Structure 1
Amino acid sequence: MATGTQVVGACVVSWATWKLMGWILKKDPLANIRGPPSSSRLLGNIGDMISTRGWAYHKHLADEYGGLSRVNGFLGGSALYVYDPKALQHIIVKEQYIYDEPPSFILGNEVVFGKGLLATLGDHHKKQRKALNPVFSTTHMREMVPIFYGVVNKLEAAFQKEVQNGPITFDVLSWMTRTALELVGQSGLGYSFDPLTEDGKEHPFSISLKQLIPAAQKVNVFRFVVLPRVCKLGPAWLRRAAVNLLSTFWTDLRRVRDIIDVMWNTSVEIYESKKAALKEGDQALESHVGRGKDIISILLKANMAASEVDRLPDEELIGQISTLTFAGMDTTSNALARILYQLTQHPDVQEKLRQEITEAQTKHGRLDYNELMGLPYLDAVCRETLRMFPPVPMLSRMARKDMVLPMSRAIVGVDGKEMREVVVPKGTRFFISALASNRNPELWGPDSYEWKPERWLSPLPAALVNAKVPGVYSHLMTFLGGGRACIGFKFSELEMKLVLAVLIPKFRFALEENKEIFWQMGTIVTPIIDEKDGSLQPQLPLTVSAV
C-alpha cells in the first residue's frame, strides 16, 4: 500500500506534468505574426538579439519583417520586436502604465541602485520625477554652464599636455568617461571624483560604475531567475546573509556584491555630507564643490520644503545619486566617443565643425548656453550621431494586461492576411528597437543608414513629422519618450556640445592606422579593439594633434 508521502509525491508530479503539457500544447496567441525561426531551444532568438555583434541581425529583423515581428524568447515563449511609430506611441505614451518595465528590470535596479528613478513604477515613479524635473530644466542647465567649463577646461589642459611633443595616440574613451563622471559629480552631486590629470588616481566609485554592467552580465541567472523570486523573502539582513553565503563560492556574485557596496556607501557619504551642509546654512554649501548649485543640493532643499505628500524619504534620495551618476556617465561618454570617431571618418565634417565653433568663439568669446545651442552644425553633428548610433539600442517592456496594439502600417500575417492591429496577451514581452526606429527608411528616406549631419539643416521629411514618433528628442527614440523618458537628456546634450566646443577648435582627431575599431552591441554600445590576446577592453585609441 502506498504511503501518504508517496501519494503526495505522485500528486505533485502529476500536477507538474499536467501544467507542463498545458504550457507546451497551449496555442501561441502571437503565432500569426511573422518572425525569424528560433536559433536555440533555450534562448530562442534572444542570443542573436543581445549578441555583441548583433548589428546585422537587427537590420535583418527590420528589413525582413517590418515594424512589428514575433521573436522567440526563453524556452520557446514569444515576444514582440517593435519599431512601428503608432505601436510605439501606444506603448510609450498612450498606455505607458500598462506597458511597463519587466519585474526583473525593476527589481534588479532596486538591488543595484536603491529606490531611484530606475526602480520605481506608476505613481511612485511620477512622484520622483516631479521632484527631479526642476533641476533638469533648461533654466537650471544655463546655471550649470560655468561648472561644466571648469571641468572641461581641465580636460583641455590634459589633452594639451598629451600633445605637447607632437601627435600622439591615446585612449580617448577613457578621458570621455572620466570627464562625464566628473561633470555628473560636480554639477549633479557637488562632489569631485577625478582631478582629470594624467596621473590622477581613479575613484573607487568610478571603477565600480565601469565594472557594473560587465559584472552583472555574468550573473544573469541570479538577476532574471533567482532575484525576482527571493527579493522580498524575509528581512533585509537575512537576504544579505544569503548573498554573502552564495558569494563564498560564487566569485561573479561576490564581485557584483562588492561593486554595489561601493556605490551605495559612496552615495550615502555624499548624501550625508550634503544634508549636514544644508543644516549649517548657505555658507557651508558655498564651501562645497558646486557651491550648492548642484542637482542633489537643490533637490534636498526642495524636498525639505515640500509637502508631506510630495516629500521623498532619505532612502529614495540616496537611490537617485547612483542612479543619476550611472545613467549620465556611460551613455554620454560613449556618445561623445562615437562623435569623435565619426569625425575621424569624415575629416571634412570635422573641419566644417571646427570652423563654425571657432567663428562663434571669435565673435562671442566663451560660449554661453544659448550660443552653444544656437550653433546649427554642432547641433546637426550631435543629432545625427544620436540618430544613427543610439548608445542604448534596445529597451524592453511588458504588457500588464491583455491589450490591442495598433500599427501605422499593416503587416501580413503567417496566414497571408493583413493586420493593422494585434491582440497582445498579458505578460507579453516587448523589445523596443530605438535603433530600427531611428533608421527607419520609410520615415527618414532611402539614405537613413547613412551618417549625414546635413539632413538636419533642411526641413525633415513629412513622413517623419507626420508619424509622431514618441521620442522626447528630435523624433528620435534615443532618449525614449513618455513618462519614462531620459530625465537628463538636456544635461547630456549640454555636455556633448560643450566638450566638443572646447576640444574641436584646439585639437585634430584621426584614426590610428591599422587599428580597426568595432562598436560592441550591448546594454550600452562601447568601442573595442579585438586584441591578439583575445581581450575586449572598451577603448577608442585616436591620434590627437594640436590644431
Structure 2
Amino acid sequence: MSFSFSLSGSLAIAAFVVAFILWHVFRNFFTRSPFDNIPGPPSSSWITGDTLKLFDHDAWAYTDDLIQTYGPVSKIHGVLGARWLHVYDPRTLHAIFVKDQEKDVFTRDIAFTTGLKLLLGTGLLTTAGAEHRKQRRILQPVFSVAHLRNMTPTFYDITRKLRVAIESRVRDGPQKIDMVSWMGRTALEIIGQCGLGHSFDPLVADAKDEYAEAVKAFLPTTLEMEFGRILLPFIDYLGPAWFRRWLVSLIPHESVRRMRHIVDTMYDRSKEIYEAKKALIESGDDAVLHQVGEGRDVMSILLRANMRAAEEDKLGDEELLGQMFTFIMAGVDTTSNAMSRVLHLLAENPAIQEKLRREVVDARETYGEDIPFDDLMALPYLDAVCRETLRLYAPVSLSIRVCHADTVLPLSEPIRGVDGTLIPEVAVPKGSQIVINLRAVNTYKAIWGEDALEWKPERWLNPLPRSVEEARVPGIYSHVMTFLNGSHSCIGFKFSQLEMKTVLYVLVSSFKFELSDTKIHWNFAGVVYPATSKDSVKPEMWMNVGLAV
C-alpha cells in the first residue's frame, strides 16, 4: 500500500516536473525578455544553450571570447532557451553581493544548490536565507584570527611532515614529482586535523586512503557527468530518498555510478568521524584533549558551541555533518590547487622563486622554523606572491546567482544594445540567472591596467593604481572577487591564506621547483585544477624538485 502510494506520488511529481519544463520552454522561446537587447553570442543549442561550453573543463576560449568581444555585461543562453546575464562590472557586482544581500534578492542558483545538497548534505554551500545565516553565525567564531593563531602550530607540524616526505625522494638528486597530489594530501590533512580533529594521511608514504581518493575524485567526476549535472537538480523532486536512489542507479553512465560510490564513501566515513567526535565531546573535554587537534579543531569547537547555543540556534546532526562535507570540499581542492598554481608559476619564473626563497630563508634565520602567525602573514614578498596568484588565477572562476524579485542592476558605464541604443542599467526579471565572472573582474584592464593579465607580485609592493580604489570591487580580500562578498563569501578565506603561506614558507625554503618534460594544462572546472592535457580530467602536475641548497 505504502509502495503504491509512494510510486503514484512520485509519478505525480514527475508529471509536474514535465509540465514545469514545458512551461519554461514556452516562456523562454515565445516571450520577450529585457535581456533580448543585450549583446551576446548566439545560442549553441536550443536544449542546453551555452551551458556545455560554459561548464566545460576547457572553457577558457569560450569565456575569453565573452570577455573580449562583449565586455562586462553580455547575454548568454541557459537550458531550454533561458536568457542568462554574464557580468563582471564592479558596480553591478556591488549591487548583487552587497546592496541586495540583506533582502536575499540574489542567492545561489537553487538548481545548483539542490543538486549539490543531494551530494554534500545541508551545509553552508547548499543553504540560503535564514537557514544559511544561522549556520554562518555559529561557525563564524571558529574562523577568527585569534583561533587561527592557536592552530598555527598544527599547520607547521603537518607541513614539516610534507617536507620530510619530499626530502626522502630528492636526497640523492632532483626527482620528477606529482606536486598536485602532495598538495592535495597536505590540504586534506590540514583540514582533517584543524577542521575535524582527525588524521587522514601521515604523509610518510604513497599509501592510498579511500576517503582521500573519494575527495580528490569528486570534482573531476562532476565534470564527466555531462547531462547528469543538468538532470541532478530535478531528482530531488522525484519522491522519497529510496526512490531517488533507485532512479539514479538506473542511469547508464559510468561517471554517475562512480559519483554514487564517492558520495557513499564520503558520507559513511564522515558520519563515523562525526559520531566519534560527538561522543567524546559529550563525555567531557578531557577525552577530547587526548585526540588529534587536542580539541582546538573546528568541529570540536563547533560541537561545544552548538551544545551551548539557544534551542532556536542549534544545528541538527545532519546540518553538522553537512558542515564536515563543506569544510572538506570547499577547503581541500581550492587551496591545494592554488598552492599548486604558485609552485607552477615559481617554476616558470625562477628569479621570483629565488627572491621569495631569500625572504623565507631570512625569516627562518630570524624566527626559527615556526615563524609566529602575525610575522608569517606580514612577510611582504610571500604576501605579494599569494595575492597576485589569487588575483590572476582565482581557484573558482565563475559564481552563479538567481534573482528572486524584479530588480534593476546599475552599470559603471552604459552599454550599447543590439538595437543601437545606450543602456545605462539592466532590468532583471525575477527568476533570472546571473553568471558572475570572477576571473574577468580580477583581470579587468580598466581596473588593473594594461598588464592586468601578467603575473607580477611586485605590483603589491607599490601603491596600487588609483583605478583599483575607484572601482570599489566588492570583494572581501584585496580588491578582488576571489573570496566573494556578502552572506555567501568564503568563511574560511583566512584559514586558506594561512595554509598557503605555511606550506610555501616551508617548501620554498627547502626545495627548488622547475618545470619537467610533462605538460601542465589547467582545466577550467568548478575549481580550476592541473592535468597533463586538455583531454585529461585526472589531476596531475609533474615537476622537477630538488634541494634548494
TM-score range, shorter chain: over 0.9
- Would you say 1:335 and 2:338 are equivalent positions? yes
Quote the residue 1:192 is aligned against.
Answer: 199
43-52 or 66-75: which moved more? 43-52
State the shift of 1:363 in Å: 1.1
What's 1:529 paired with? 532
After TM superposition, the structure 1 stretch with the greater mean CA deviation from structure 2, 451-460 or 279-288, is 279-288
In structure 2, the CA distance between the partners of 1:316 and 1:381, relative to structure 1 (3 Å rule), is same
Does the CA contact (< 8 Å) of 2:180 and 2:336 recur in 1? yes
Which sections of structure 1, spanning at least 5 residues, go unmatched? 1-12
SS at match of 1:119: coil
Cα distance in 2 for residues equivalent to 1:17 and 1:52:
30
Cα separation, 2, equivalents of 1:17 and 1:306: 46
Equivalent residues in 2 for 1:197-216, closer than 5 Å: 197-199=204-206, 201-216=207-222
Of 28-37 and 169-178, deviating more is 28-37
Q: Deviations over 1:109-149 (max 9, x none)?
A: 21111111111110100000001100001111111101111
Alpha-carbon spacing, 1:211–1:451, altered in 2? closer, same or farther (3 Å): same
- Structure 1 counterpart of 2:297: 294
Corresponding residue of 1:442 = 446
State yes or no: 1:81 paired with 2:86.
yes
Q: 1:361 is matched with which residue: 346, 359, 364? A: 364
User: 1:207: Cα distance to partner?
Assistant: 1.0
Per the alignment, do residues 239 and 507 of structure 1 end up closer, same or farther by CA in structure 2, a change over 3 Å counting?
A: same
SS in 2 for 1:31: helix
Residue of 429, 434, 447 corresponding to 2:433: 429
Query: Aligned-pair distance for 1:221?
Result: 3.4
Deviations 1:505-534 (A, max 9, x none): 11100001x432111111111111139xx6
In structure 2, distance between residues paired with 1:81 and 1:349 = 35
- Conserved? CA contact 1:271–1:318, under 8 Å: yes
Report the counterpart of residue 519 of structure 2 in structure 1. 516
Distance 2:138 2:193 in 1: 20
CA distances 1:8-48 after superposition (whole Å, capped 9, x unpaired): xxxxx999999866653322321111112223333333333
Tell me the secondary structure at the aligned position of residue 256 of structure 2: helix
Structure 2 unmatched ranges of 5 or more: 1-17
Residues 1:322 and 2:325 are matched in the alignment: yes
Equivalent of 2:352 in 338, 345, 349: 349
Instruction: Report how many aligned residue pairs link the two structures.
Output: 528
What amino acid is aligned across from residue 280 of structure 1 in structure 2? S
Offset at 1:232?
A: 4.3
- Aligned residue number for residue 538 of structure 1: 539
Higher Cα Rg, which structure: 1
Partner of residue 397, structure 1: 401
Q: Does 1:490 align with 2:494?
A: yes
Partner amino acid, structure 1, of 2:216:
K
> Residue in 2 aligned with 1:28?
33
Counterpart for residue 466 of structure 1: 470
3-state SS, counterpart of residue 36 of structure 2: coil
Q: Residues 222 and 142 (structure 1 numbering): CA distance in 2 closer, same or farther, change over 3 Å? A: same
Residue identity in the other structure for 1:282: D
CA distance in 2, matches of 1:38, 1:282: 59
Q: Which residue of 1 aligns with 2:4?
A: none
Structure 2 vs 1, CA of residues 176 and 38 (structure 1 numbering), >3 Å: closer, same or farther?
same
Residues 57 and 223, structure 2, Cα contact 8 Å, conserved in 1: no
State the alpha-carbon separation in 1 of the partners of residues 329 and 443 from structure 2: 27
2:60 matched residue in structure 1: 55
**DSSP-derived class of the 2:311 partner:** coil
Supply the distance in 2 between the matched residues of 1:383 and 1:186 (Cα, whole angstroms).
26
SS at match of 2:153: helix
d(CA) in 1 for partners of 2:110, 2:486: 19
CA distance in 1, matches of 2:305, 2:185: 29
Work out the CA distance in 1 between the residues paired with 2:126 and 2:19: 39
Question: What pairs with 1:128-167 in structure 2 (closer than 5 Å)?
Answer: 128-167=135-174
What is the distance in 1 between the residues matched to 2:52 and 2:27?
26
Deviations 1:464-507 (A, max 9, x none): 11221111111111111111001111111000000010011111
Distance (whole Å) between structure 1 residues aligned to residue 245 and residue 195 of structure 2: 30
SS in 2 for 1:422: strand
CA contact under 8 A between 1:444 and 1:461: conserved in structure 2?
yes
Contact conserved, 1:104 with 1:223, CA < 8 A, in 2?
no
1:44 and 1:232 map into 2 onto residues whose CA distance is 23
Which of the numbers 467, 481, 503 marks the counterpart of 1:477? 481
TM-score (norm 1): 0.92
Matches within 5 A, 1:446-457: 446-457=450-461
Equivalent position amino acid for 1:460 in 2? L
Identity %: 46
Q: 1:180 aligns with which of 184, 187, 190?
A: 187
Q: Match of 1:336, SS?
A: helix
Alignment of 1:80-119 (within 5 A): 80-96=85-101, 97-119=104-126
**2: CA distance between counterparts of 1:494 and 1:285?**
24
Shift of 1:216: 2.7
Q: Distance in 2 between matches of 1:15 and 1:148?
A: 50
RMSD across aligned C-alpha pairs, in angstroms? 2.1
What is the TM-score normalised by the length of structure 2? 0.92
1:70 aligns with 2:75: yes
Return the alpha-carbon distance in structure 2 between the equivalents of residues 459 and 233 of structure 1. 56
Q: Are the structure 2 counterparts of residues 218 and 316 from structure 1 closer, same or farther at C-alpha, using a change threshold of 3 Å?
A: same
Tell me which amino acid in the other structure corresponds to 1:34: P
Q: Distance in 1 between matches of 2:417 and 2:321?
A: 49
Cα distance in 1 for partners of 2:345, 2:39 equals 36
The answer for the alignment partner of 1:231 in structure 2 is 236
- Cα offsets for 1:286-328 (capped at 9, x unmatched): 1110010000000000110111121111110011001111111
Q: CA deviation at 1:278?
A: 1.1
Find the residue that maps to 2:47 and give its secondary structure.
coil
Q: Distance in 2 between matches of 1:434 and 1:19?
A: 28
Query: One-letter code of the match for 2:397?
Result: P
Query: CA contact under 8 A between 2:221 and 2:255: conserved in structure 1?
Result: yes
Q: Would the alpha carbon gap of residues 546 and 23 (structure 1) be closer, same or farther in structure 2, given more than 3 Å must change?
A: closer
**Counterpart position of 2:14:** none
Q: CA separation in 2, counterparts of 1:191 and 1:252?
A: 29
From the superposition, tell whether residues 186 and 25 of structure 1 become closer, same or farther in structure 2 (CA, over 3 Å).
same
CA offset at residue 451 of structure 1? 0.4
Amino acid at match of 2:76: V
Q: 1:103, CA displacement in angstroms? A: 1.4
Which 4+ residue blocks in structure 1 deviate beyond 4 angstroms? 13-23
Q: Deviations over 1:169-200 (max 9, x none)?
A: 1101100000000000001000000010123x
Which deviations, in whole Å up to 9, do the C-alpha atoms of 1:436-487 show, x marking residues without a partner? 0000011111110110000001111222112211111111111111110011
- Hey, what does 2:13 align to over in structure 1? none
